[in-house]
Amino acid sequence: MIEWRDEGTVLASRRHGETSTIVEVFTPQHGRHAGLVRGGVSRKMAPVLQPGAQVDVIWKARLEDHLGTFTIEPIRSRSAAAMGDRVALAGLNAVTALLMSTLAERDPHPELYARTITLLDLLIHPEVWPLGYLRWEMFLLEDLGFALNLDSCAVTGSQQGLAYVSPRTGRAVSAEGAGEWASKLLPLPPVLRGVGDYAPAEIIEALGTTGHFVEHHLIRSIGDKPVPTARAAFVAAITRQSGA
């Protein structure tokens, strides 16, 4: 018998049989991991297994490659915080959907896990959630091998006048360096470099740029599948709320 214990956040669950649930959790030491929760559809367990919930998990299986079973105890529920704000709820859905789509099973990403928990803790502060999500998505790209390099111009080497991002390399390009290629480059709003006033319109523009790398680099590296629709729904929710 193989057994381990870890903490995690619930990404998704689906009914299995009459009373059980197959649950996907993201843990710091065991990555994205699935397991069977017996009685998962019960009144006691169903609220614990909502996406975004932070839980204590014990996984047991006869062999390493088996599905195994989870024993799950709640640490922190985030459903009430998420349900209280449309943007936060849409953002939570985007986070869990992207992690489900991009993380290889059982591949640990402890720092990404820590940053995910930090982001989910911001659900009670919806006014900063879009900025928090942008920072998280940039780290998701970095942690999975597609970091943006926005410190200096890829053409001139200058750190001044940075205005664009190369859609191919993810490197910053200055207005001077862009020249006649400017129309083929992605915008580089100051918020992507940690400066500026973090206005909603700027965050939306920044999410357009990071979204390019999520779709055309990260997701494409995994296989022929689309970006989860939850991400577009999140950007649309920010746009509606801000009137941008």
SS3 for 178-213 is HHHHHHHCEECCHHHHCCCCCCHHHHHHHHHHHHHH
Q: Are the CB atoms for 215 and 208 separated by under 8 Å?
A: no
Mean per-residue pLDDT of the chain: 94
Kindly report, residue by residue over 57-90, the tens digit of the pLDDT: 999 999 998 999 999 999 998 887 777 788 889 9
Q: State percent of the chain over pLDDT 90.
A: 85
Task: Name the pLDDT band for 244 (thresholds 50, 70, 90).
Answer: low
The yes/no answer on whether domain 2-77 falls in CATH 3.90.550.10 is no
Supply the pLDDT for residue 127.
Answer: 86
Assign 3-class secondary structure to 75-120: EECCHHHHHCCHHHHHHHHHHHHHHHHHCCECCCCHHHHHHHHHHH
Angle at 168 between CA 149 and CA 234, to 5 degrees: 75
Partnered with residue 22 across adjacent β-strands are 14, 36
The phi and psi torsions of 32 (rounded to 5 degrees) equal -80, 120
Parse the chain into domains and list their residue ranges.
2-77, 81-150+188-242
Mean pLDDT within 107-112: 98
Cβ contact 114:107 at 8 Å: no
